[in-house]
Structure 1
Amino acid sequence: MIPSLFRPIVRGALLAAGLALTPAPALAQSYPVEVANCFETARFTGPPKRPMVHDVNMTQTMLDLGLADRLVAVSGIAGAERHLIAPPGIVAALPQLPDRAPTLEAVLSADPDFLFAGWSYGFNEARGLTPARLAEMGVATYTLRESCIRIGPREPIGMETLYADLLALGRIFGIADRAEAMVADFRRRVAAVTRLTGTAAQRPRVMYCDDCHTDAAPLSVGREGMTSLLMELAGGRNIFDDIANSYVRVSWEEMARRDPQWIIVSDHRIPAEAAIRYLLSAPQLADVEAVRKRQFIVLTYAEQTPSTRNVDALERMARTLHPELFTP
């Protein structure tokens, strides 16, 4: 298969970066393991041998977990590779499929035995790419926990939503110790932030804005998206926290009426500069406080959707919204 040709390249890039390639000891974790997977339980009799991942945030998570050399295919990152953080050569060597929204056939062409994706992050009934269909083809899946709200009610969003993903992936791939250490570090850092932001006298109004470079309706976030959670933990308040969903289209008129004091701009395939130029030039937004005061926070896609980069974003957001609480 074509993706297998890339595996020596990825391995070589990892060696050049000085990263250890020795897999976790076979007896470091016993199998089978079971993990919660949306509203079902998934059982794995061993670590995936040919894993694939879709979308930028989940690719970043796999990179940070040290799983780059195991991947046989990556999709959904075309045009956004510059935002992935890894040692030199790693991202360029990823066995990338060109599809931003892959079909079932495209996924199967890579011959994976496992896919990490999410609803609206790759999984899509209309394209026939679903965990159930992949299971029929012998491909196991793990679904991004935040995205489960697209197919049914889940628990309210929290950092535990992210931690559940990391701990599940750790068990699936036999690197539970690594994942647990990462989660412990994240818990410590989040607690350090919220100890301070919890004392804030005021919580500024914040809006997340994606596709904000034209007159078309922008994409924002309701209270069940990771970006909304980060706003709250950073000491802000999501102006659309009355919407019980994750990412949603809103109107410019409603955005102006709710008058955010800060706007989080997504820096993804459309550069953040393009969105900020539009926001500053749109007549209907001239009286919005964030626009008048040019108060923008730029986040990458991996920072504002569930991934191992969320805590980095939280720390930066908190310092921006509440500089008075943080010593230089």
Structure 2
Amino acid sequence: MKTIPIRWGVAAAVLTLATACGSGTAATTASAPPASRVTSCGLPLTIQAPPRRAVAMEQNAAEIMLTLGLAGRMAGTAYQTDPVLPELAEPYAEVPVLAEHYPGREALLAGKPDFVYSMRASAFAPEAAGSRQDLARLGVPAYLSSNDCEDRSLIPATAEFEAIFKEIDDIATVFGVRERGQAVVADLRRRLEAAGRSAPADLDADVMWYYSGTETPAIAGDTGLPGTITRLLGARNAFADVEQQWPEGNWEEIAARDPDVIVLADLTRGGDGDSAEDKKRFLREDPVASRLTAVRNDRFVVVPGSSVDPSIRSVTAVEQVGQGLARLYSEKESS
């Protein structure tokens, strides 16, 4: 979830891919499909042929590609943070894993990629794959999600679902499966509309999203996806005045705001306060946190950690939180 800050200007560049790697024969002018053009975090990308050896730099990027049916065009993936979606587990298992976290430049290039896709800027840090501009000079186009651009001024003020849908469309366009992408987005839109009605009407609740950590917890500010989901469901973000995606909080300030509900991100990486059960245990035992209204009343909603940043899972997070709020507040009314 956290990224390594990278601050540089994004140069205007056009990336070209002259051949379809791994096809065994050169593409002819007559049979070559039209080039696809997308813009990623201010960087124009022109891709002459649908990639055949793409690398997804983390699980969320891989799951978008697999949802689009692109397993056969993937040369690698990395950085798995949660169990893969059940419906994608079989194709995911066939994709080579290049590294436990982000692959370095040598490990990445050893897979002879013709396209790299990441949803986090930290994938293109010097100690990881290196900058997208450097990859461009090697003839490898690299797409980065608008939620985490290298140039922070290019990141939208809030994380909106329309940006997720556009990203899915961009990736589908690059791979020449745009109709498939449109079908995926149409289904997500339908589910999102229904999920937005799942929370109780006239909901009066302050919600805190708790991602990780115990001594210095990472909580959701107003500009990330949790803020968008909270507004969509008619609740209030307890930290709506904080203009960061995931600021580090402290328990005294959290106690002062005293949220009615806490959404717990369930992470499987094994760190301090990562799993939902670890978070609950800490909250119930800590002398400050245990006095919170949400903790005393056992008002928790659990979502997978990978669903709290923009991804193919984001609509599921709306569904889960909406259903959780409905359950908690129907219980409150009946008690």
> Normalised by the size of structure 1, how large is the TM-score?
0.81
1:31 and 2:30 are equivalent in the alignment: no
In percent, how many aligned pairs have the same letter? Answer: 29
Q: Where does 1:1-328 land on structure 2 (aligned, <5 Å)? A: 30-77=33-80, 80=81, 82-87=83-88, 89-125=90-126, 127=128, 129-148=130-149, 151-155=152-156, 156-195=158-197, 197=199, 200-212=201-213, 214-215=214-215, 217-268=216-267, 269-270=269-270, 271-323=275-327
For 1:186, the aligned partner's letter is L
CA contact (8 A) 2:116 2:143 kept: yes
Deviations 1:154-178 (A, max 9, x none): 3332111111110101101111001
Secondary structure of the residue aligned to 1:276 is: helix
Q: Alignment length, in residue pairs?
A: 293
CA positional deviation for 1:123: 2.6
CA positional deviation for 1:59: 1.8
Deviations 1:169-190 (A, max 9, x none): 1101111001111111222222
Gaps of 5+ in 2: 1-29, 331-335
Cα distance in 1 for partners of 2:129, 2:91 equals: 31
Measured at CA, do residues 59 and 128 of structure 1 come closer, stay the same or move farther in structure 2, by a change above 3 Å? closer
Cα distance in 2 for partners of 1:249, 1:136 equals: 37
Secondary structure of the residue aligned to 2:142 is: strand
CA positional deviation for 1:293: 1.3
Partner of 1:6: none
For 1:55, the aligned partner's letter is E
For 1:285, the aligned partner's letter is A
For 1:222, the aligned partner's letter is G
For 1:278, the aligned partner's letter is F
CA positional deviation for 1:318: 0.9
For 1:68, the aligned partner's letter is A
Gaps of 5+ in 1: 1-26
Measured at CA, do residues 137 and 203 of structure 1 come closer, stay the same or move farther in structure 2, by a change above 3 Å? farther
Secondary structure of the residue aligned to 2:117 is: strand
For 1:226, the aligned partner's letter is L
Measured at CA, do residues 263 and 111 of structure 1 come closer, stay the same or move farther in structure 2, by a change above 3 Å? same
Secondary structure of the residue aligned to 1:122 is: helix
Cα distance in 1 for partners of 2:237, 2:70 equals: 34
CA contact (8 A) 1:235 1:321 kept: no
CA positional deviation for 1:89: 3.4
Deviations 1:22-54 (A, max 9, x none): xxxxx9x95212112112322111111210001
> Normalised by the size of structure 2, how large is the TM-score?
0.79
Measured at CA, do residues 302 and 312 of structure 1 come closer, stay the same or move farther in structure 2, by a change above 3 Å? same
Deviations 1:246-271 (A, max 9, x none): 22222222222221221121212233
CA positional deviation for 1:142: 0.9
Secondary structure of the residue aligned to 1:249 is: coil
Measured at CA, do residues 31 and 211 of structure 1 come closer, stay the same or move farther in structure 2, by a change above 3 Å? same
Deviations 1:248-299 (A, max 9, x none): 2222222222212211212122332112211111111122111111211111
Cα distance in 1 for partners of 2:311, 2:155 equals: 18
For 2:52, the aligned partner's letter is K
CA contact (8 A) 2:76 2:96 kept: yes
Cα distance in 1 for partners of 2:58, 2:91 equals: 16
CA positional deviation for 1:58: 1.6
Measured at CA, do residues 123 and 232 of structure 1 come closer, stay the same or move farther in structure 2, by a change above 3 Å? farther
For 1:102, the aligned partner's letter is P
For 1:71, the aligned partner's letter is M
Measured at CA, do residues 107 and 178 of structure 1 come closer, stay the same or move farther in structure 2, by a change above 3 Å? same
Measured at CA, do residues 125 and 206 of structure 1 come closer, stay the same or move farther in structure 2, by a change above 3 Å? farther
Secondary structure of the residue aligned to 1:86 is: helix
Cα distance in 2 for partners of 1:149, 1:97 equals: 23
